[in-house]
Amino acid sequence: MGLNMKERQAVARGYRPRYQEATRKEKKAALDEFTRLTGYHRKSAARLLGAKPTKQATVHANDRTVKLKPEKRRPGNRKGRLVYGDEAIGSLRKVWAFFWYKRGKILAPLLREQIARIASWPAFGITPEIAAKLAGISPATIDRRLKKDRAALALREKASRNRGIRSKAASRYARSTRRRSARSPVSGKSTPSTTAGRPPTANICTP
């Protein structure tokens, strides 16, 4: 049967000084022993044993002694340096549209091989700095930065297909309506042509 939580904490307190003072090779061996003994995941064990002890502040108030633990602050999300600004992505968007909205795995090699020729076209607005950036852009970055554009394009294509379907249906309905109206309700044969929308007059013999 495995160790309970208090036993795990006791084992961690015993291993922590040894782990923090050990060399890289000794830390690996200590992690192997600790994870085998406690059942912790290796990353969790390394984080637990590598944690520095928190100091407690002692406050005297109203003839009482209170120990205050410092507030634990989680590290904020790291924000990487922005490599591809609005101008670079704007030029990338033009190139993407020119080459018929290719995926990143096709567009990235094309940019690496042909960026000098593409940058020579003024319509793309590619400066030497932007050309250097686009020459090294990865397929994953292309797909990530153009994700919203691709979604908008899919919506436009869907709307265009729907309009085409409705237009074809309307045309079929109009043709069928004209065919029905061109036939006589009695014999099913075509009725005589009309003049200016008026029904044809019958021949009347006068005496």
Please report the sign of the dihedral spanned by the C-alpha atoms of residue 6, residue 11, residue 12, residue 17.
Answer: positive
The values of phi and psi at residue 118, to 5°, are: -65, -40
Residue 203, Ramachandran bin (φ over 0: left; ψ between -120 and 50: alpha; else beta): beta
Tens-digit pLDDT profile for residues 154-191: 888 788 777 777 777 667 766 766 666 565 454 445 44
DSSP, res 156: H
Tens-digit pLDDT profile for residues 64-121: 776 666 555 555 555 556 788 889 999 999 999 999 999 999 999 999 999 999 999 9
The answer, as to whether pTM is greater than 0.85, is: no
**Total residue count of the chain as it appears in this document:** 207
Best CA proximity match to 96, nearest among 156, 127, 137, 129:
137
